[in-house]
Structure 1
């Protein structure tokens, strides 16, 4: 395990996701190793990293947890001595399907599991219609975990559109929010960066998003552009749409500096805007 530190390197693996689950797992493991060798201490994968994204694929690729995909993540975390935020996989439990992110510490232990709370149900006439709720069930908890560097909150894709969720994470001491996601060619160019910067600036914390690489032949084409935004609302690391690893050096002390410079997160404000209706959504300590 790492010593307590205020700075660490974050790696976002913008993975090319193919039809072969075993190939996806092997490639993800290889890129986690590459990220660790480049100094990353926290490595994150994209949404549905082991499976093509789409309601017709979820039942076919779904696994119980633990299962083959989560075993590969645990092994990669332990072998490379890093925290692994495992994007998401289709999960099956008791006949229900979930879009689920698992998190592992450097010893390979499962320390958090987040089921996507807000399902992706949209209809933009003439552009895109998608209904995750046709197959998936929603999660009902916020999820955060502790590292020697800071507390990190987890959301999945559509979760980023809900500012109350990010605010609850910030109130609970998260300094970084990680959103594995797969925005598309309609909402990606319009909202991907805007939402990241909004959540970061609202809460004066780091926000990172991890997308699959773009596959023009896929039935669902991901936008790509995995990015990290600072507490000042600046994009400090990003990429285009090809497979790559994006790195950013996270400075937890900078979060404190920004919050002191523009003190919008006083205890008085937190008391005034506390979201009591969501108080039962408790994270992982």
Structure 2
């Protein structure tokens, strides 16, 4: 058992499922299909269910404005955000914590200026909104002979780390896709007591085979916590081809489960004692040298979810 000075970050074992979802151009159909798959995951015993990035729409700068929904002031009306209400119902109807991948969000100012975000919504088993994460790091890359993409041509970045408390289990951190490349977010979240780092994402066929699994394992081994990456299913007829391969990594960086390319639900049992076992065996928390380098989590105040 964990020592009294280090209580279990995950209070009781929990089954987490990543829904590697196939989506198309019809938002209503995407929402209905997501509901079917969340129901399937919950029926198999999952209590935390994760959807992929842009689960309600195709992914791409050409699509963000036309699929964007207004989330503020919260709660939005069903007309302003059908996805908000669909996610709330999925969580409530299945009694699960639902990390709703992400959706394109629009915010309209008093002078009618439109700002777009890539936004993840997390709901409780009662269907209540628990947390909102706007993608902090925008996907702006250019790999010669590979891929060029600039989310910042359309999207604006969020400005906070997102940690949410799931009362029966503990804290999780939620970030989106490109956020996984920035270890500072993960480090702060882990030191704020998270038992899992959860990333809905849509890596591509250039960076996916190189870095997807590597980054999931890196964030896990750095922080000795669970990491879940949830991708859309691959669609070679789409303008953006997702890598797929949703996975869950344990605190020793072992890949517990990994999907293939197509639509699939993958799940894993998370256990708080496995976190403590990793941390007792390789005691990084006692060995850090904050006299040599700073503790970047010090002074960081978690903002309202």
Distance 1:144 1:267, change over 3 A: farther
- Residues 1:199 and 2:219 aligned together: yes
SS at match of 2:148: strand
Question: Partners of 1:269 and 1:73 in 2: how far apart?
Answer: 43
Per the alignment, residue 7 of structure 1 pairs with 13
Per the alignment, residue 245 of structure 2 pairs with 225
| Cα root mean square deviation, aligned | 1.6
Per the alignment, residue 58 of structure 1 pairs with 64
CA offset digits 1:18-57 (Å, max 9, x no partner):
0000011000011111111100000000000001000000
Pairwise CA distance, 1:127: 1.2
Pairwise CA distance, 1:276: 6.3
- Residues 1:117 and 2:123 aligned together: no
Matches within 5 A, 1:47-126: 47-65=53-71, 66=76, 67-94=81-108, 95-126=114-145
Q: Tell me, yes or no, if the aligned pair for 2:191 and 2:297 is still in contact at 8 Å.
A: no
Q: TM-score, normalised to structure 1's length?
A: 0.95
CA offset digits 1:110-155 (Å, max 9, x no partner):
0000000000000001210000000000000000111111210011
SS at match of 2:248: strand
Pairwise CA distance, 1:266: 2.7
Q: Tell me, yes or no, if the aligned pair for 1:145 and 1:284 is still in contact at 8 Å.
A: no
Distance 1:276 1:243, change over 3 A: closer
- Residues 1:279 and 2:297 aligned together: no
Q: Choose 264-273 or 92-101, whichever is displaced more.
A: 264-273
Question: Partners of 1:36 and 1:283 in 2: how far apart?
Answer: 30
Q: Choose 177-186 or 253-262, whichever is displaced more.
A: 253-262
Question: Partners of 2:46 and 2:297 in 1: how far apart?
Answer: 37
Match of 2:174 among 128, 139, 154: 154
Q: Which runs of 5+ in 2 are unaligned?
A: 1-9, 109-113
Matches within 5 A, 1:244-263: 244-263=264-283
Distance 1:115 1:270, change over 3 A: farther
- Residues 1:25 and 2:17 aligned together: no
Q: Tell me, yes or no, if the aligned pair for 1:204 and 1:258 is still in contact at 8 Å.
A: yes
Distance 1:170 1:277, change over 3 A: closer
Per the alignment, residue 137 of structure 1 pairs with 156
Question: Partners of 1:52 and 1:231 in 2: how far apart?
Answer: 33
Q: Tell me, yes or no, if the aligned pair for 1:8 and 1:249 is still in contact at 8 Å.
A: yes
Pairwise CA distance, 1:284: 4.5
Greater gyration radius? 2
Q: TM-score, normalised to structure 2's length?
A: 0.89
Deviating above 4 A after TM superposition, structure 1's stretches of 4 or more consecutive aligned residues are 267-272
- Count of residues paired in the alignment: 281
